[in-house]
Amino acid sequence: MQTIFRLDALRTCVADLKMRGKDQIGRSLALVPTMGAIHDGHLALVREARNHADLVAVSIFVNPRQFSANEDLDAYPRTFDADSALLAAEGVDLLWAPTLDQMYPAGYATNVSVSGVSEGACGASRPGHFDGVATVVCKLFHQVLPDIALFGEKDWQQLAVIRQMARDLDLTRPHVHAIIGVPIVREADGLALSSRNRYLSPEDRARAVALPQAMHRCVAVIEQGEAVPNALAALHVALLSAGFSTVDYAELRDSETLAPLVAIGPRPARLLVAARIGGTRLIDNMGLSANL
């Protein structure tokens, strides 16, 4: 695995890797963007990337522009050596780990802002977050020039924002032919894997399982015909009684357009939830069957 910290070296490395086959035939490249603190969810993205491309690049960059002032930027886990060892063992070809000044040099002044799908849910509870995500992912695409890019479905709204941006800014051709969403990886008890799970105390970790459990119940009752507002209210109560301090949002949305829904209809719907336990903000989402 080649580890690159500077943009000029990245460009040479990508060009070289893509053309290094014994027949000098161009090889396809997949990008898995991350903020490090690599866990099995990231490794699932890497393994899926292998099914789609000849070469796999992973980026690690803790992007300050997607954190607001009161968030956990300073505390965000930085475990570069362990991450690097995990990715090398997984057979990753290229680790792109830009420094802050490579990503945002002095005088940097451009922002990518996606409307529509970024509104409400995490867009409301984390103002500016999706501008930061869209900006850095747009830059990563231009830097690495991947043929495809893979993102976890745990950040369902983020995936919708990135797909919209890639369409709107013509990033899907020629560089990124496909933005691939990879299903959530869960612990044995159902908690979705997240770099932020390592903030949880053992007690809060035990209580956090209430999130997927309450969501499963909510999905089941809606599919059995319960009114969506009632089911969401019950989910809210269940989380607070399980020890969550706040529920940032619990919403049913159209899976693709992310339009808020008050009832299930003919199109697939998604339950999206963010809630806080012991100071840690957890997000999760689950699909519902369409009401055909």
Q: Contact positions toward ligand PAF, by CB under 6 A? A: 33-35, 63, 66, 133, 136-137, 155, 158
For ligand PAF, the closer CB: 35 or 211: 35
Q: Residue 143 Cβ, how far from ligand PAF at the closest point, in Å?
A: 13
DSSP state of 266: S
List own/partner pairs for 215-221 with CB under 8 A and 24 or more apart. 215/271, 215/273, 215/284, 215/286, 216/190, 216/286, 218/250, 218/271, 219/271, 219/286, 219/287, 219/288
Q: Give per-residue burial for 204-228: e unless 16+ CB within 10 Å, then b.
A: bbebbebbbbbbeebbebbeeeeeb
What dihedral angle (degrees, nearest 10) is formed by the CA atoms of 47, 67, 237, 257? -60
* CA angle at 260 for the pair 137 and 287, rounded to the nearest 5°: 75
For ligand PAF, the closer CB: 13 or 35: 35
Nearest residue to ligand PAF, by Cβ distance, number only: 33
For ligand PAF, the closer CB: 136 or 275: 136
Q: Which of 39, 42, 129, 236 is catalytic?
A: 42
Q: Residue 208 Cβ, how far from ligand PAF at the closest point, in Å?
A: 19
Q: In the beta sheet, which residues pair with residue 274?
A: 249, 283
Q: Residue 150 Cβ, how far from ligand PAF at the closest point, in Å?
A: 10
For ligand PAF, the closer CB: 83 or 288: 83
Distance CA 128, CA 65 (A): 8
Cβ-based neighbour number of residue 167 at 10 Å: 12
Q: Residue 134 Cβ, how far from ligand PAF at the closest point, in Å?
A: 9
Q: Residue 103 Cβ, how far from ligand PAF at the closest point, in Å?
A: 10
Cβ-based neighbour number of residue 276 at 10 Å: 15
Q: Residue 167 Cβ, how far from ligand PAF at the closest point, in Å?
A: 17
For ligand PAF, the closer CB: 36 or 212: 36
Distance CA 173, CA 62 (A): 27
Distance CA 224, CA 218 (A): 10
Known catalytic residue at 42: yes
* Helix residue spans in the chain (DSSP H): 7-18, 40-50, 80-89, 100-103, 122-125, 129-144, 156-168, 202-208, 210-223, 228-241
* Catalytic site positions: 42
